[in-house]
Structure formats: structure tokens, C-alpha cells
Amino acid sequence: MSNIFNKIISSVDNLTENDLDLWIVPELLEFYKEKISYLTYKSYGSSSNPVSSAAFKEQAKNSLRSACFSFLFKLEHWKTKRDLNPYLSATLNRLGNKLFYDAESVKKINIPICPGCKYLGNKEYLFNENDLLRCSVCTNEADRLIKDFKYQGFKDFKTTILFESRIKIHKSFSLHSLNGFRCPECDGFIPKSLESQFGISCPYSECSFSGKTEGLQKKIHPVGFGQRNDLSLQTPTGLKNNSSGSAINSNDIQDYFSDDTTINPDVMMEIKENYENELSVLKQVLDDQISQVKRTNAVGTMFQKLSMYEAYKNMLDQCPEDMVSYLVHRRQNTECPVQSRIFQEYVRIIEESLPYDIQINKDEKYTICSLTDPNLQLFLGKSEFNALVGPDGVIPNLTKETYVGSVSFKNYGSCFIGQVIDVVRKNTGESLKNNIKNYTFVQIQMEDILPGTEVTVTHFRINSHYEVGATVNIQRVRKRIVDSVYFRLNGEHRISG
């Protein structure tokens, strides 16, 4: 059964959609049986209730079928050697999270927000009206301002201009289209509904652009995160397309790369075009900086720096969407922080390269044989602690050793988890390392382990502050990548913050 994924990939050229129902999904259900039991417990609070188990298994069956169809036939991820197991595991995790939040009668959705109100510093959600988007605030404000302007008859020129510009904004967005253009002067969203036979003009008061729409870039309508409580099958969404997207650099939109996203085709096309461009720029920046390291760095530090860049490149190959989000948009949208994963990949590369020689000065070479060698400046030593698995499967970092800053003598608390050596069930001595879903510097996420299980964790530790050794160097590499990508995409230097 452990070779189910090899079996699928080895026969992928001869597979048909019928194979999904005939053998692939049934065998996957058997393979993930323990994981499904754990997720049933996580979603419904019980894995022994036959109704809950049957309900989750049926939805897991549908999710696995849909994910396999996307992986094998629709997106053909196997051509890029993407691993099927974590792909399907993530699908089941998403299902578990969805059912958990649905059980809490809470659901978050992306809802279009009014660009005019956003420009004025407010956040107003829109609703559908005859294939257009209606802003009740802009509608009411436009009517009110027009009446005030008509009856008060302002003679002051500045007041008149102010009223007219405000009326223009509210009229433009009181009822407008989902699709639109990017203003070439102010970069704002101009709805396509403003287009006339003479062209289109920017509705914002501080912009004077007016011209033809030919040659204008499309821009995605902004959205905000909305929350609906006590959803039922009878609850109307109020939106015909409740998944319309925002500009790809908006902090409001999330998870826009997930395979189960339902989004307007035009919006998805623009998002994918932007993403492909950003991914290409990111790859080029990594290649250029690697070439620069080879040209300018001394032999003593070159191997470590090249290994760091290799870690970034490997992570970009494994999870390009996460890395674009992390290095281009400077945010993380995954359960496991990307920086921890990059560090773990760097450790893996170093470990596989042992032993290797470094040149300390012109005449002296030194052989690195261990991950804890002080000349490597990677780990401070080995730590061990006892803990209980939490209700969410998390083992907290209870490392006894602390890190005290060498300059300010500040106590930064428990040292970080650098590399997990093993997690052992305390009462039996059984290794649970294969049950580690992921781990960060401050916690270990287990799967298929019941809450309350007592374990012993052994790990290599690192300092809990980014000021020395490998962690600070990885931070510096990240900053160089981020700054270079920002400059190439925006044509200006990034102001670090």
C-alpha cells in the first residue's frame, strides 16, 4: 500500500478518468485511513460516531477524486515531478479545516468592496444588481450631494470643485462593473462601465487621466474578507460571483492559488499572468545572485552561501506559490512558515554534503564533519524535553536551554527548534517521527496522534534571535532577493520596513 503513489505515477500515461473510481480513490482511502480518522476527530470532535465517520469519509472520497483529477489530468502536475502524497494530504487537511469552521457556523468569503469608498478611506461591501455591483453608500451619497449642491447653490469656486469631484466618485461607483482597467496615471481601478464612445476618464479627484481604453491594462476589482455567521443551505450569498478577485498584491485576497478556488475566469487569467511574471522574475534574481556569489565570494564562505541559495531554489521548485507570496508579496499564507522550511532545506543540503572542507585563511583548511561543528555556526547543541500533544496536534517548544543575547545580554527565552532528531512516545519508546506533519522554530505539528499523548522530543537547537550564525545569513539572503525582485517589478528601490 505504501507504493500506491509510485503505482499511480508509473501508470499515468495509461490512466483514464474511470480509473479514479475503479481503484485509485478506493486505495487512497485505505492508505489515508488513519489520517481520515484523525481529521474526523478534529472536525467533529469524535471519530467513533458512525455518522460522523461516514460523512467525513464520503467528503474525503469526493475531495481525493477531485484532487487526483486535477493533479493527473487537468493540471498534470506529475510532469513537473510534483509529489502526489503531500498534494493529496493538503487536500484532506483543507477539507478538515473547512468542516471544522463550518461546524462552528462561520465562513469567510471574498466580497467585492467599493473602490470609491476605499479611495475615501472607507470599506463598503457591494452586492449584485443586474450583473453590476451596487454600492449603497455611493448611491445615497451621490443623491444627497446632488440635492445639497442644487439647493445651496455654492458660488465659491473651490467648494464647487470639491462637490463636483465628490459627486463624480460616488456616481461612478454607485452602480459599476466588476471588470475594469488600471489607470496609467494613478494606478486606480476604473470600471469598464464608465467607458463611452469618447473613451474613459479616471473618476478619482486627484487624477486627470482621460483617453481611449485601447492599450490600457486590465485591473482586478478589489475585494475584502467578509464573514457570514449561521450559514445554511437557504442562506443567500447576495453575490452571483462571490469569488471575484482583487489585485494580486492586495493583502485582502488569500489562497488565490488553491485548486478548489472558484473565481471569475477573467480574474483568474490576470492573476495567473501576474503570477507567471513574478515567478519568472524571482527565478532570474536567484540565478543572477548565485552567479554573483560564485564571482565575488571567498572559498571559505562560498559553500554556505551557495547552499542557502540552493535551499531557496529547491523551495521555489517544491512550492512556487508559497515562495512567490513570501518573497514577492512578503507575506505567508500557509500553515507552516516558509522561513522554517527554507532553514530545514538548508540543513538538509549541508548534512548531505558532510564531510566537506572550508578554507579558514589562505593556508589553512578545516574539515566539517558534524552539524554541530562550531565552525559551521549552525546549531548550538542537542536538547531534549517532555511534552503533551495538544488538542490541535501541536507540541509546543519546551526547550530548557535559553538564548541570551551576546551584546545586550537580553534573555530571548527558549532556544528555537533547529532540526528535529526524534519524537518518541514516552510510555512505549515508539518513534513518532513519521507522524510529524511539519515543524517550525517554535512548535511541532503532529498528525494522526491523539491529544494528550506524552512524548519526548530530541532536537538540535539554535539561538532564538536572528543575530548570529546561519539564521542571520538566511535573513540577509532573503532581503537581497526581496529587494532585487521589488526593483525589477516596480522600477524603484524598496523602502525596507
pLDDT digits (tens, 9 = 90+) for 306-358: 889 999 999 998 888 888 888 887 766 445 678 888 999 999 998 888 888 77
In this structure, what is the dihedral angle of CA atoms 470, 279, 88, 49, given to the nearest 10 degrees? 80
Residue 206 has pLDDT above 60, yes or no: yes
Taking the C-alpha atoms of residue 133 and residue 201, their distance in angstroms, rounded to an integer, is 19
In the prediction, which pLDDT does 42 show? 78
In the prediction, which pLDDT does 43 show? 77
In the prediction, which pLDDT does 252 show? 35
In the prediction, which pLDDT does 212 show? 86
Residue 475 has pLDDT above 70, yes or no: yes
Instruction: Identify the residue whose cell numbers are 469618447.
Output: 198
How, if at all, do strands 132-134 and 175-176 pair? antiparallel
In the prediction, which pLDDT does 153 show? 56
The total of other beta-carbon atoms located within 10 Å of residue 210's CB is 11
Q: In the chain, what is the greatest distance between 2 CA atoms, to the nearest angstrom?
A: 90
Of 139-143, 298-302, 312-316, the least confident: 298-302
In the prediction, which pLDDT does 255 show? 37
Cα(first)–Cα(last) distance of the chain, in Å? 50
In the prediction, which pLDDT does 489 show? 84
In the prediction, which pLDDT does 402 show? 86
In the prediction, which pLDDT does 264 show? 46
Residue 22 has pLDDT above 90, yes or no: yes
Residue 246 has pLDDT above 50, yes or no: no
The winner for highest mean pLDDT among 137-151, 176-190, 226-240, 367-381 is: 176-190
Nearest to residue 417, comparing CAs of 476, 458, 475? 458
In the prediction, which pLDDT does 176 show? 94
Span 62-73, average pLDDT = 92
In the prediction, which pLDDT does 345 show? 92
pLDDT digits (tens, 9 = 90+) for 368-418: 888 888 878 788 889 999 999 998 899 999 999 887 765 556 677 888 899
Taking the C-alpha atoms of residue 456 and residue 429, their distance in angstroms, rounded to an integer, is 9
The β-bridge partners of 201 are: 210
| Residue 192 exposed, middle or buried by CB count within 10 Å (0-12, 13-18, 19+) | middle
- pLDDT band at residue 20 using 50, 70 and 90 as cut-offs: very high
Span 171-194, average pLDDT = 91
Taking the C-alpha atoms of residue 171 and residue 141, their distance in angstroms, rounded to an integer, is 9
Is the sign of the CA dihedral 203, 209, 212, 216 positive or negative?
negative
Residue 17 has pLDDT above 80, yes or no: yes
More confident residue, 330 or 269: 330
What are the structural domain ranges in the chain? Answer: 4-103, 105-246, 269-370+472-490, 378-467
In the prediction, which pLDDT does 474 show? 79
Residue 284 has pLDDT above 70, yes or no: yes
pLDDT digits (tens, 9 = 90+) for 27-59: 999 999 988 988 888 777 665 667 778 888 888
Taking the C-alpha atoms of residue 64 and residue 32, their distance in angstroms, rounded to an integer, is 10
pTM of the model: 0.49
Residue 144 has pLDDT above 50, yes or no: yes
Phi/psi for 93 (5° steps) reads -65, -40
Residue 491 grid coordinates:
522600477
Instruction: Identify the residue whose cell numbers are 519524537.
Output: 423
Residue 362 has pLDDT above 50, yes or no: yes
The total of other beta-carbon atoms located within 10 Å of residue 188's CB is 21
Taking the C-alpha atoms of residue 52 and residue 58, their distance in angstroms, rounded to an integer, is 10
Taking the C-alpha atoms of residue 280 and residue 306, their distance in angstroms, rounded to an integer, is 20
Span 145-157, average pLDDT = 64
Please give the C-alpha separations between residue 75 and each of 55, 61, 71, 255, 432, in angstroms, as whole numbers.
Answer: 28, 20, 5, 17, 34
Residue 442 grid coordinates:
517554535
Of 66-80, 96-110, 312-326, 414-428, the least confident: 96-110
- pLDDT band at residue 269 using 50, 70 and 90 as cut-offs: low
| Residue 406 exposed, middle or buried by CB count within 10 Å (0-12, 13-18, 19+) | exposed
